[in-house]
Amino acid sequence: MERLSVLYASALFDLAIERDDIDKSLDEAVFLRDTLQDKDIQQVLLHPHVPKADKQKLLTEVFTGHLNDDLLGFLNLAIEKSRQAFILSALNVYIDLIKKHKNIVVAKIISATELNSAQASKLRDTLSAKLQKDVTLDMKVDPSVIAGPYVYVDGYYLDWTFKTHLHDLTVYMKEGCTA
C-alpha cells in the first residue's frame, strides 16, 4: 500500500514542480485531504456498490474549480483503478514531499495546557532558528503530562514533561539511588 501511495505522490509532485506551482499545490492537497477525511465521504468512496462513474462524477462536481487538473486526474485515476483506499495515504505522502521541498517541518507539541499565542510563537521561532527550517506547530493538550512540553520535530525528541521527570525519579529511587 505504501509503495503505491509513494508512486502516486511522486508523480503528483513531479507535475507540481513542472508547473512551478508548489505553494498552490500544497494548499489544494491539504484542502483535498482534509475534505476526504470526512467519514461520510469515505463511506461513499469505499462503498463497493457505488459505481465508479458515480464516484468520479461526484468528486468532479465537488472539486472542479477548487483543485488543479492534476489532482482531479489523480482522483479519477484512483477510482478508475479501484484504488480509492490509497487516496488519503498518497495525499499525505504528497504533502510531505512538498513540505520537504519547501524546507517546512511540523513540530508535534504536547503540553498539559494550551499554549498561548506568544508561547507558541516563541517556540516556533526557537525551533526554526535551531533547525534552520520553517516550522509549523501541531499542538495537542494532554493534562496527564502535568507540566512542561513534549516536542517531536524533524527526528528530534525532547521531553521536558513533569510526568517523565516523576517516572525517572521513581525508577531512580527503586534502583536504590545507584546512579
Query: pLDDT digits over 137-147, tens only?
Result: 888 888 877 78
Averaged pLDDT score across all residues of the chain: 86
Examine the domain organization and report whether 117 and 74 are in the same domain: no
Q: Phi-psi bin for 176: left (phi > 0), alpha (psi -120 to 50), beta?
A: left
Q: Which domain, by its residues, includes 8?
A: 2-100
In the predicted model, is pLDDT for residue 179 greater than 60? no
Which sign, positive or negative, has the C-alpha torsion 119, 122, 127, 130?
negative
Residue at 68 is within a domain? yes
Q: According to the model, what pLDDT value does residue 33 have?
A: 92
Same domain? For 10 and 63 the reply is yes
Task: Show the DSSP H helices in the chain as ranges.
Answer: 2-19, 22-36, 39-46, 52-63, 69-80, 87-101, 117-131, 162-174
pLDDT in tens, 32-74: 999 999 888 888 888 888 888 888 888 888 888 899 889 999 9
Q: Is residue 179 part of a domain?
A: no
